Structure formats: structure tokens, C-alpha cells
Amino acid sequence: MLYITKEGEIVNTDPTNSYFDKVNDLLNQWSSGREVFELKTSGSTGRPKEILVKRSQIEASIDLSRKALKINQDDLFFCCLNVNYIAGMMMVLRAAHIGCDMIVVEPTSNPFDSMGKMEYLITKNHGKNFFSFVPLQLQTILESDQGMKILKTAKVIIAGGAALNKSLRDKIFELKLPVFETYGMTETISHIALKNVGQGQDYFKILEDVSIETNTNNCLRILSPTTENEWVQTNDVIEIVGKGCFVLKGRADNIINSGGLKIQLEEIERKLADHFQWPNRYFCYGKADEKLGQKLVLVIESHEKIVDLTDLTPVFSKFEVPKEIFFVKNFVETASAKVDKIRTINEFVSY
């Protein structure tokens, strides 16, 4: 664990851990006034790439988050995301730029496990803790009483990197946790829109000074101070449902053509979430097929068979029912803890 106060004092409970060297390097680069930073995209939807971002873009992102989430110098930041990628890096730089205490732990499925006796640093700060998780971490934490106890000390919890499943959203709403699902990407320097899951909100609302529109394919375009007020074209299909509000439908490249019928994979995943309360992760995929061109398959992370095709038939129309189900012991993940669908398919799903 790395504990860094706003005054710059550092407590490192594991000085031999090279991960904390990366955190210190990042902080040194920031404090020395570095103007350009190199970032890696996650690679969850394709080949990872590196992009260069300016300090002014990062500062603009910090300012957007600070205003939207009402962050101030009394807050404590808890960073358990990989600092080599945008989400983890921005947690560290937000704390440094605003002037907040921060705790950094190495990314794991339950980051509170590594706190040990130092857990009091969080619990004593009730109502002033700012957490950021990927959905798998949040789900794992909520499975323990101690984890829920710590989460209830939060001022703000942001969750991103993947969509929150229905059972997780329901649990958050039941507990009235201050969880905001985020929408953003490396190219927008973290989130540009938030969904208040704790209050049952089912749409994203853009942050102040952000503008959105859609192209002819209903794909989202974003203009923001974080993009230097230039339009960025995304591959995300959305529906605008009000001023500055939108519902994310899925990715344009996640539409498959199966026997001439276009199927949005995320729509199938949402229907599964509405009807089945699996704790397991899963995703849909278009597998090459001689007859259909692509056939819809369901891939579930599980050691055993937990569902059969016949269980799915009542839920879907004839053409929406997955043609095969594959059970994979462990999904392949990117370094930023997202499911690497392409590698999972290539390594575990036979063609």
C-alpha cells in the first residue's frame, strides 16, 4: 500500500513492490511540470495503441470531474486501478492536482484485502472517500460484509471499463450507494458522462462544457475541453433521450449479420441480464458460420455448465436465441482488467 498525503508525505508498506515505483514516477512527472504524457488504450475492442495527450487536456478532465462530483481537498482518493492506463492514471493525477490525500494499492479483484491494519485510513474518513473500480472489483467487494461496510464510507464511487450488470445495479440501488457509472475512453481523457446508478438513473448525462451529437449511423460524436474542443468520432451507438442525456446501445462493430438479420450483441446481453441473475461474466459473439455467415454464440465464464440452450428459448425471439453456449474457466483480461473478448474467443472457443 502507498499512502501519500496532500503535503507530500509517503508511507510505503511494501517498498520492494515495483508497481509503486510506477506510481511515484507518474507523480514526479506531474510535479515536474511535464507537458505531454503517453497513454495506452485498453485493447478490449481491438489492438491496443498509444496516444499522446497534453497536460492541459488532463487538467481539463480533472476540472470536469471535480465540478461534477464535488471533489475537494478534504477528500481521500483510493486508487486500485492500473496506473499505466487512463482510469488509474487519472485517479492519481486528480488527487495530486486537487491536493488530496491518496491511497494506492496494486490492482486485484478485491483491493481492500491488501489494506490489512491500514484499513482505518479509509474508515476514519467517513463521507469523504472517493473510490474508483471496474465492475468485477465492485461486485467482489459487495460479496463481503466488510467490503460493504467500507463502501458505505464513500462520498463518491465511480465504476467503468465495462457495463454494470443488472444484478450489480440492483444491489447498488438497494444499498443506496453513491455509485456513478462512467462513460469515456482514453481519447477523451477519462469520463465525459455519468450515470447515477445509486439513484436508479438509466441514462448517461454529459458533464459541463461537453457537447454530443450522432452521425448518420447513430454513433456518438464528442466535443469537450478534454479533446481540445475538437469533435471525436466514436464507434458507440447511442440514443439521445434528452438534452445532454443518452442511452448507450452498443458498439457499431458489435452488430453481426446472421442469415441477413442484423443483431446488436449488447441488446442480447441486456435481455440475458434481465432474465437471468448469473454472478458469472458473459458476452455474446458472432462466430463464423458457413450457412449464416455469422452465428450468435454466448460465452460464459464458468467452471461448469450453468444454463442450457433450452433455458434461453422462452426469453428470445427465434432469431435472437444463441446457437451455441461455450463455458470458459477464466476469461482473458487486458492489463486494465477488461475482458479481452478476441483473445478469449481465439484461445478457448473452437472453430
Residues 125-167: tens digit of each pLDDT: 999 999 999 999 999 999 999 999 999 999 999 999 888 988 8
Number of residues in the chain? 351
pLDDT band, very low/low/confident/very high, at 43 (cuts 50, 70, 90)? low
Spatial separation of the C-alpha atoms in residues 137 and 159, rounded to whole Å = 9
pLDDT band at 44 (very low <50, low <70, confident <90, very high): low
CB neighbour class for 268 (10 Å; exposed up to 12, middle 13-18, buried from 19): buried
Question: Which residue, 154, 158, 98, 105, is CA-closest to 129?
Answer: 154
Q: In 3-state terms, what secondary structure has residue 6?
A: coil
How much of the chain, in percent, has pLDDT values that exceed 90?
84
Domains of the chain: 2-251 (3.40.50.12780), 259-348 (3.30.300.30)
What is d(CA 193, CA 204) in angstroms, rounded to the nearest whole number?
6
pLDDT (0 to 100) of residue 351: 55
8 Å CB contact between 306 and 278:
yes
pLDDT in tens, 219-266: 999 999 999 999 999 999 999 999 999 999 999 989 999 988 889 999
Q: What is the pLDDT of residue 47?
A: 65
DSSP class of 309: H
Give the pLDDT band of residue 40 (cuts 50, 70, 90).
Answer: confident
* CA gap 97, 189 in Å, rounded: 15
Residue 88 backbone dihedrals phi, psi, to 5 degrees: -70, -40
Neighbours of 144 (CB within 10 A): 13
Is the model more confident about 49 or about 144? 144
Q: Average model confidence (pLDDT) for the chain?
A: 94
Compute the C-alpha angle 167/320/256, nearest 5°: 100
The pLDDT assigned to 21 comes to: 96
Is 153 in contact with 170 (CB distance < 8 Å)?
A: no
| DSSP code, position 113 | G
35-53: average pLDDT = 79
What pLDDT digit, counting tens, does each position of 274-300 carry?
A: 899 888 999 999 999 888 999 999 999
Please name the residues in contact with 290: beta carbons below 8 A apart, sequence gap of 6 or more.
none
User: Could you report the per-residue pLDDT of 58-81, keeping only the tens digit for each?
Assistant: 999 999 999 999 999 999 999 999
- Contact in structure between 193 and 246 (CB atoms under 8 Å): yes
pLDDT for res 349: 82
